[in-house]
Amino acid sequence: MAVEHQVQFDRTIEADEKIEPRDWMPDGYRSTLIRQIAQHAHSEVIGMQPEANWITRAPTLLRKAILIAKVQDEAGHGLYLYSATETLGISRDELQEMLHSGRQKYSSIFNYPTLSWADIGAIGWLVDGAAIVNQIMLQGTSYGPYSRAMVRICKEESFHARQGYAILMALAKGTDEQKAMLQDAIDRWWWPSLMMFGPHDSDSTHTEQSMEWKIKRISNDDLRQMYVDQTVPQAHYLGCSVPDPDLHFDEESGHWNFGAIDWDEFWTVVKGNGPMNRERINHKTKVWDDGAWVREAAVAYAEKQASRSTKIA
């Protein structure tokens, strides 16, 4: 029986069809998806913090409204992704517990501080930009609920990237002080954005197997190169430079070659010792605890509704 299941699973993957929650799947496929989708969901939710930090200080009413909408979108992305993870047989409470206790990760990028308004533009352009490159690939992932969540999320991410670039365009046309603020934000966010794609393929624990299962369709290094190729000309259009003395366009390959990533910094952040790791998790845990009464009230209400409909029936 197990062999038949495996054959059916392999056939579905081979045919580029989707695995659905009702289908048999290997334990490793399930646990890899739980890790990756949960990490993605946690990233969306923790990722609200650096930008929410600027809602009260947005320079105009319009910018404030756009930023609120964007941060709310990220909450929505977290919810789709938690729902997708729950289809794999794990509860949202368990996922929260694993995030709060450090047993599950979230993206390294959200452990850096937002020091100026230009950082909000840089996040939209660079961070959402990186998320789009990664997530367009994930629309083709083999797990149905994850793939479908990605389609909707990608549409919203394009708005996020555009609002970020619009902020930066305004600064690029501004005073010398604003231009300096813009360049400073790019200098601080460039390398952490490149790290979002994960370790080099040669050091990536999961890439080979995840590509066989078609969970991932393009490797970490290939996605990173696509991102650099699309982003460098956008930096130049802003009249800015990228903080990499080794960056140069290679005529032969048609790619922008870039310098070495500081992997010590990456692993320091991933292991919980980046500039904002503790603050992010402390804030998340506090909000979760403060919101307990809302969850309890929602459950009590649902139980009351259920008992009413049982009585009527």
Binding site for ligand FAQ (CB under 6 A): 36, 39-40, 43-44, 47, 74, 105, 107-108, 123, 127-128, 131, 134, 195-199, 204-207, 210, 216, 220, 270
Structure-token pair, residue 193: 């954005």
Residues counted in the chain: 313
Neighbours of 47 (CB within 10 A): 24
- Of all helices (H) and strands (E), which one includes residue 208? helix 207-212
Question: 166 or 180, CB closer to ligand FAQ?
Answer: 166
Distances in Å between the alpha carbon of 264 and those of 109, 188, 259, 279? 14, 16, 15, 21
Q: Least distance to ligand FAQ from the beta carbon of 74, Å?
A: 4
Question: 55 or 180, CB closer to ligand FAQ?
Answer: 55
Q: Least distance to ligand FAQ from the beta carbon of 59, Å?
A: 19
- Chain position whose Cβ is nearest to ligand FAQ: 47
Query: Could you give the CA distance from residue 41 to residue 104 in angstroms, rounded to a whole number?
Result: 11
Query: Could you give the CA distance from residue 183 to residue 37 in angstroms, rounded to a whole number?
Result: 33
Question: 108 or 142, CB closer to ligand FAQ?
Answer: 108
Query: Could you give the CA distance from residue 209 to residue 36 in angstroms, rounded to a whole number?
Result: 13
Q: Least distance to ligand FAQ from the beta carbon of 40, Å?
A: 4
Q: Least distance to ligand FAQ from the beta carbon of 3, Å?
A: 27
Q: Least distance to ligand FAQ from the beta carbon of 240, Å?
A: 20
Q: Least distance to ligand FAQ from the beta carbon of 186, Å?
A: 16
Question: 30 or 206, CB closer to ligand FAQ?
Answer: 206
Question: 139 or 241, CB closer to ligand FAQ?
Answer: 139
Q: Which residues contact 151 (CB under 8 A, 6 or more apart)?
A: 139
According to DSSP, residue 174 is labeled S
3-state secondary structure of 19: strand
In 142-231, DSSP assigns E strands to none
Closest CA to 152 of 78, 56, 234, 221: 78
Q: Least distance to ligand FAQ from the beta carbon of 175, Å?
A: 27
Strand partners, 249: 256
Question: 186 or 196, CB closer to ligand FAQ?
Answer: 196
